[in-house]
């Protein structure tokens, strides 16, 4: 498991050009753009090493499966539907991802048997969301300590309200920009390692970090497995285009209404069928 976890990280961030094991190059932190401490005028070489060491410590101890840094500056005109107004003052995103346990995802079905959805709710939502949010807080505090702004966007939670049915900023768009995967017809981020079987958190920051990759422009091609298997009929089958609205691919209200009905029938409002059937996830 440890070898597999490290391979996810290396493929996602640390193995890319210009990166050390901590996910940043030695020159990634010049003079702070904004400092909360008037005494911090610049980062010395010692401070750079200290910051990188603190990041590396969190990455290793919290056991991230994915870590990436994206550059927002090239996509401001394409992110209006993904929470960009919130991100206008920030230049970079940090993406943190945890892979879900395949032994739990593989148990999911339209007519679930005990304890499949109970395990899915606990380990793939409740517990992993807490892990993500804790990690985001730790990383944000490090950035702030070194004089930068950092705004953590918590892991996505289920919403029962009618609007807006999306988060403050799109975790999938952030990870897509960082080169961690592409957004599929299911509107999930598809990675090479585990397909869509991962959950994500994001930090918006003005720290001049070195991006770990570029926008992944790949798509699902002719594959429509998730479209055919979605019990809510929520997917249109269109491939993702960043400058198009989510509704061109996905009816979030159909998905929400179906999940609410599952909650009434089975006691927990979760589904995950699109995640289970994706061939990129099933090969893990």
Average pLDDT over residues 33-55: 56
Instruction: State yes or no: pLDDT of 113 exceeds 90.
Output: no
Average pLDDT over residues 13-40: 34
Long-range contacts of 75-78 (CB under 8 A, 24+ apart): 75/177, 75/215, 75/242, 77/243, 78/242, 78/243
Instruction: State yes or no: pLDDT of 16 exceeds 50.
Output: no
Instruction: State yes or no: pLDDT of 28 exceeds 60.
Output: no
Instruction: State yes or no: pLDDT of 66 exceeds 60.
Output: yes
Q: Where are the beta strands (DSSP E) in 170-261?
A: 182-183, 189-190, 198-205
Instruction: Render pLDDT for 216-228 as a digit per residue (tens, 0 to 9).
Output: 888 899 999 999 9
Torsion 219-223-227-229 (CA) sign = negative
Instruction: Render pLDDT for 215-260 as a digit per residue (tens, 0 to 9).
Output: 888 889 999 999 999 999 999 999 988 778 888 899 989 999 999 9
Instruction: State yes or no: pLDDT of 5 exceeds 70.
Output: no
pLDDT band at 80 (very low <50, low <70, confident <90, very high): low
Query: Which range is least confidently modeled, 88-92, 160-164, 166-170?
Result: 160-164
Looking at residue 165, its pLDDT comes to 60
Of 82 and 33, which is predicted with more confidence? 82
pLDDT band at 52 (very low <50, low <70, confident <90, very high): confident
- Which tokens sit at 245? 């609205």
Instruction: State yes or no: pLDDT of 276 exceeds 90.
Output: yes
Which one, of 206, 199, 204, lies nearest residue 66 by Cα?
A: 199
């Amino acid at each position: 498991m440890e070898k597999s976890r490290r391979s996810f990280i290396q493929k996602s961030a640390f193995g890319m050009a210009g990166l050390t094991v901590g996910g940043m190059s030695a020159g990634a932190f010049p003079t702070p753009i904004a400092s909360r401490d008037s005494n911090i005028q610049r980062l010395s070489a010692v401070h750079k090493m200290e910051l990188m060491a603190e990041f590396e410590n969190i990455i290793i101890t919290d056991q991230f499966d994915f870590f990436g840094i994206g550059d927002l500056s090239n996509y401001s005109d394409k992110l209006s539907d993904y929470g960009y107004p919130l991100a206008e003052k920030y230049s970079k995103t940090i993406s943190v991802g945890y892979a879900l346990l395949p032994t739990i995802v593989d148990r999911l079905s339209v007519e679930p048997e005990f304890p499949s959805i109970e395990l899915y709710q606990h380990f793939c939502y409740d517990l992993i969301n807490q892990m993500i949010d804790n990690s985001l807080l730790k990383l944000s505090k490090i950035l702030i300590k070194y004089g930068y702004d950092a705004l953590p966007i918590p892991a996505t939670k289920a919403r029962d309200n009618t609007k807006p049915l999306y988060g403050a900023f799109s975790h999938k768009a952030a990870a897509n920009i960082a080169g961690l995967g592409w957004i599929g017809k299911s509107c999930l981020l598809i990675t090479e390692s585990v397909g869509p079987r991962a959950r994500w958190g994001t930090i918006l920051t003005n720290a001049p970090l070195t991006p770990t990759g570029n926008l992944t422009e790949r798509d699902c091609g002719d594959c429509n497995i998730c479209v055919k298997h979605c019990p809510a009929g929520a997917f249109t089958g269109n491939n993702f285009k960043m400058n198009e609205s989510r509704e061109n691919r996905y009816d979030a209200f159909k998905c929400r209404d179906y999940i609410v009905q599952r909650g009434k029938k089975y006691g927990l409002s979760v589904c995950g069928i699109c995640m289970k059937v994706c061939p990129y996830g099933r090969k893990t």
